[in-house]
Amino acid sequence: MKLQFWFEFASTYSYPAVMRIDKAAAARGVEVEWRPFLLGPLFHAQQGLKDSPFNVVPVKGSYMWRDLERVCEKHGLPFKRPHRFPQNGLLAARIALSLDQSMRPNFVKAVYQANFVHDRDISDSQILHAAARRAGLDPLEVLAAMDSEDMKAGLREQTAIAADKGIFGAPTFVTPDGELFWGNDRLEDALDWAVRGTLRPNTQN
């Protein structure tokens, strides 16, 4: 079984999903397909937004930051609220797209940690180089991917595919039979569905 994992580098709840998905998927024998895309164009096309909904509606933003803090603590993930939000993940997304699937997770995790643990500017090519080094990537290939016309076009295509699938937020998980699950808190449901085509029967509640 394979689960598509659609993430956006600026997305806050994508951070715990990025850090949790490998272990949770492996426990269920599910393969993960890492799919970077850009949420900004979808927010604009679908909701007329030019900024994150968490900035546009401050009461939702306040809640989200506190909730994210609790979620990270629950899962034992380090977290520090970044000064910049949302960050520009364009270059990081082009790099991620240029990598083979097997190389994506380590780079993607390093970038999310730069943003949500170390409060670094992930649109800065030096920060991305550092993340690439930590992920064992070739610095020259990373440099090329940031400005590659193929990656620019490829990322636009990925974003169009996301829109066609009905994606409107991140993280979103898509099962082989086309079910969408939105949000870090749907990760386990998405994996269960990928395995069994249904959700785990609830026996506790």
Which chain residues interact with a second copy by CB under 8 A? 20, 23-24, 27, 46-47, 57, 59-60, 62-63, 66-67, 70, 73-76, 166, 168, 179-182, 185-189, 193, 198-202, 204-205
Shortest Å, Cβ 194 to a second copy? 13
- Answer whether 7's CB lies under 8 Å from 34's CB: yes
Q: Phi then psi for 33, rounded to 5 degrees?
A: -105, 110
As a 3-state breakdown, the chain gives helix, strand, coil percent values, each rounded to 5, of 55, 10, 35
* Alpha carbon separation from 195 to 13, 17, 165, 177, 180 (Å, rounded): 23, 18, 20, 11, 14
Nearer to a second copy, 16 or 86 (CB): 16
Nearer to a second copy, 18 or 151 (CB): 18
- Answer whether 34's CB lies under 8 Å from 5's CB: yes
Nearer to a second copy, 79 or 128 (CB): 79
Shortest Å, Cβ 82 to a second copy? 21
CA dist 157 and 182 (Å) reads: 21
Shortest Å, Cβ 27 to a second copy? 7
Shortest Å, Cβ 42 to a second copy? 9
